[in-house]
Amino acid sequence: MLRRKAITCRRQRVLRSVLLAAAGCLVAPTIATAHFILMTPDSWMSQDVLGLPEKLGPCGNEGGGTPTGKITTFQAGQTITVTIDEVIPHPGHYRVALANDQSEIPPEPVVTPSALDPCASVAIQNPPVFPILADNLLVHTQPFDAPQTFTVTLPTDLTCTKCTLQVLEFMSSHGQPCFYHHCADISIQGAPDTPTATPIPTETPTQTMIAPATPSPTPVVVCAGDCNGDGQVTVEELLTMVNIALGNADVSECTPEGARRDSGVTVDEILAAVNNALNGCASDQSS
């Protein structure tokens, strides 16, 4: 037992040394950022292990993902479930909005900075006014220990064949920008007891066919830092990620999920990998 404890402590010291070396060698200091994955409804865009793309509004439009083509069908007036997984935590809360398409999503709320925090506080709608369906959801200052679920109720008098549901994350104690964004394409059918539901007004012709609901895909188990796909993160794999971040190795040397395929490795990804090395890959899986 004592030998096992000594080996564990020595491993933790080595991992912390790797992390400190990586942070010290990267050229520019990085402000800590939060990331979240939209688990349900199905996202309109593919998401990597850190939830990217999500930085550019209204729906994570900076590129790097692949459209999923998923459309989730609901009924007017239905209370629906939204599930998120905040894989890199930060104090803040969430907002949900609904529009005909991404171009009609309402702008981000006004942020009020302070002397020490560019994202100190933000305007909150209470009560929310359409197209905002809910605001100030999952208010938190500490990390979540599991994916989080909340509910929102769709309007009773609106239908659409393909409209956009936006989940917006506000982060305080954070450098600007203060928001991350994910969206889902949804269809809203008339409720059985409201056959005369009014469509969302739009200047463009609406589609006449309502796409059927598509089953949710089987979750893909990913683990940041697991370069060889064996379900664990080793010191050697952490060193490979550090070399990729420094430009001394190609991103292809860490596959399938150790680093993003479209760019190099960031400090956030190394932090996630070190956490997985210390605590096991189960802490970095979506469920």
Residue scoring higher pLDDT (160 or 220):
160
Q: Which residues are CB-contacts of 206 (< 8 A; sequence separation ≥ 6)? A: 160, 161, 199
| pLDDT higher than threshold 80 for residue 113 | yes
Average the pLDDT over each of 86-90, 131-135, 145-149, 184-188 and give the range with the smallest value: 86-90
Task: Give mean pLDDT, residues 178-192.
Answer: 93
| Kind plus residue range of the DSSP H or E element containing 85 | strand 79-88
Query: Does residue 206 contact residue 199 with C-beta atoms inside 8 Å?
Result: yes
Q: What is the pLDDT of the chain when averaged over all its residues?
A: 80
Q: How far apart are CA 106 and CA 104, in angstroms?
A: 6
What is the structure's pLDDT at 3?
53
* Residues facing residue 38 across a β-bridge: 84
Provide the pLDDT confidence category of residue 193 given band limits of 50, 70 and 90: low
Query: Which residue in 152, 168, 163, 145 sits closest to 58, CA to CA?
Result: 168
What is the structure's pLDDT at 104?
96
Provide the pLDDT confidence category of residue 270 given band limits of 50, 70 and 90: confident
- Within 190-276, strands assigned E span 198-199
Most confident of the ranges 165-174, 193-202, 272-281:
165-174
What is the structure's pLDDT at 262?
53
**Model pTM greater than 0.75?**
no
Domains and CATH numbers, the chain: 35-199 (2.70.50), 218-287 (no CATH)
Q: How far apart are CA 154 and CA 77, in angstroms?
A: 5
pLDDT digits (tens, 9 = 90+) for 41-92: 999 999 999 999 999 999 999 999 999 999 999 999 999 999 999 998 889 9
| pLDDT higher than threshold 90 for residue 161 | yes
In which region does residue 77 sit, left (phi positive, over 0), alpha (psi from -120 to 50) or beta (all else)?
left
| pLDDT higher than threshold 90 for residue 147 | yes
Task: Give mean pLDDT, residues 264-278.
Answer: 79
What is the structure's pLDDT at 159?
95
Dihedral of alpha carbons 219, 96, 183, 225, sign: negative
